[in-house]
Each structure stands twice: as C-alpha cells, then as structure tokens.
Amino acid sequence: MPGLMENLLDIMAQQAENYENLLGLSKEKKDVIVSNDIKDLQTITALENTLAGKHQRLEKKRAEVVKDIANVLGRKEADITFSALLEMLEGKPDHPRMEEIVERIRKIIPELKSSNDLNKQLIDNSLAYIEFTMNAIRGSLAGEPLLYPNQGDESPDSVPLFDAKQ
C-alpha cells in the first residue's frame, strides 16, 4: 500500500498545481474580459481547455488509485476522503506531504470558484450590454427613439437605462 499512497500523493500534487494554474488563468481572464481583448480571451480559453483536459486525466487516475486503496483496505471508495487519508497517514512519513497537498487543494478550490463566478458575471454583463446595444441600433433603424421617449410621455413602463448606483 505504500506505493499506492505515494502514487496518490503524486497525482494529488499534480491536481493542486493544475488548480493553481487554472486560478492564475482565471485571474488573467478577468483582466482580459474587462479590457475587451478578444484575441487574448481566445488564447486563455484554449489554455483553460488544455488544463481542464489534464484535470480530467488526473481525476481518472486518482479515482483508480482510490479504488485500489479501498480494495486493499476493504472499504468503500466513498470512505476514502481527505480526512480519512490524513487519519490513515497519521504518524507516518507521508502525513506532512498529504496535509500540505490537502491544504493547497482546500484553499484553491473556493478561490477558483469565486474567480470563475466573477468572470461569468462579467461575461454575462458584457453580453447583456451587447444585446442592449443591438436592440437600440435595431430600434433606431426602425425609426423608434434610441434612448428617450418623447417629452411628456411618461409611461409606467419606462425604466432608466443606466443605474447611477452601480
């Protein structure tokens, strides 16, 4: 089993590094989205896809090793969690390494999720702005007012286009 555990630690270390690389790209992507640089956005997206593919391969390997560990221990795969692994390695030479890897992963996942959520929001806002602009252009081409209704026309449906609070 020491060989299985060493293999698992190597895979998890690679996964932690992959997550860190994805976080770096995600932060870079935010700046690219804000600056509206489509070429760099395409480059970053291609790199993200490469890292996502690597993640899938690593996850498959990790699942296979966890399955082997579960078989050796006579446990269910679902029982082989970070906490269980740390407990199994308590007092053994691999424990500090496992602890460090688990901490890296536990720290990076929420950061990555937060960064990705922000990027999604920025992209959604950009798409909404593009849609608004396209609708405004279509409306002006059809002879409808571009931004404001006629003076004195106070319909309850009129909504300000820009919110000064933002």
The tens digit of pLDDT for each residue in 39-75 reads 999 999 999 999 999 999 999 999 999 999 999 989 9
| pLDDT score, position 13 | 97
What are the structural domains, with CATH classification, of the chain?
2-141 (1.20.58.300)
What distance in Å separates the CA atoms of residue 114 and residue 117, rounded to the nearest whole number?
5
For 85, residues 6+ apart whose C-beta sits below 8 A from its C-beta are 8, 98, 102
Q: What is the mean pLDDT of residues 114-127?
A: 92
77 or 149: which carries more pLDDT confidence?
A: 77
Cβ atoms of 38 and 29 closer than 8 Å: no
Question: How confident is residue 131, by pLDDT bands cut at 50, 70 and 90?
Answer: confident
